Amino acid sequence: MNKKLIFILAIIAFPIALIFFFQFFSEGRYDIPIQYKNGVRPDTLVDQTCIERSSEQYYVSNGLLPENKHRIVHFERFDGPVLKTRLEELERIQDAHSMHDKIVLQSFINEKTMKAKEVTDYDKRVVFLESFWNITELDSAAWGKLKFCDMVMSRFDNRVVLVDSEDRIRGYYNIMDREETDRLIAELGVLLSNKELQ
């Protein structure tokens, strides 16, 4: 009987001791990686000649993105069931973070193949909060430069990009995968909490 009692107490005490250990010996702070900290190297898989190769931190430089905000950047060029799914996942991000004025969602539409109206026609299923979610039509050249050159993406890459308030790319997320959307929502929370700690 005593052995069972000791065993049960040990099972209960171990997680409690672990929690106290981590609170005492850790900062309790998590950070997400910064992409291209050593620049966009020649061995980067993206084969775009417009990308400036360097060995220093890469910063996104494009006047289409608002400054001093964390930006979720989404590119779209075709309507269809995939668009509906992407918009629903982006709405989940909006629901989680629209109350933060330090975050903005930017959807860029290639006007050659699609119009912004085709996106906003989904307003019966998806709520677009104008204070958070900006939808912009771009001509093919500007859209391509922003996607391929500034965001360091390949031709068939349909992920969403997280750019922090210091113009550094923090991650790429395939929002067709619900877990990736959850990861983006969580990592936005990390960026916000780390900024408040500084």
Residues 105-164: tens digit of each pLDDT: 999 999 998 888 888 788 778 889 999 999 999 999 999 999 988 998 887 788 999 999
Phi and psi at residue 141, to the nearest 5°: -65, -50
Domain of 83, CATH number, reads: 3.40.30.10
pTM: 0.81
Report the relative pairing of strands 169-173 and 133-138 from DSSP bridges. Answer: unpaired
Assigned domain for 9 exists: no
Assigned domain for 3 exists: no
Phi and psi at residue 17, to the nearest 5°: -65, -40
Q: What is the DSSP string of 3-28?
A: HHHHHHHHHHHHHHHHHHHHHHHS--
Assigned domain for 172 exists: yes
Count of domains observed in the chain: 1
Assigned domain for 2 exists: no
Assigned domain for 5 exists: no
Give the structural domain span for 85. Answer: 33-197
Assigned domain for 18 exists: no
Q: Tell me what pLDDT residue 197 has.
A: 44
Assigned domain for 128 exists: yes
Assigned domain for 161 exists: yes
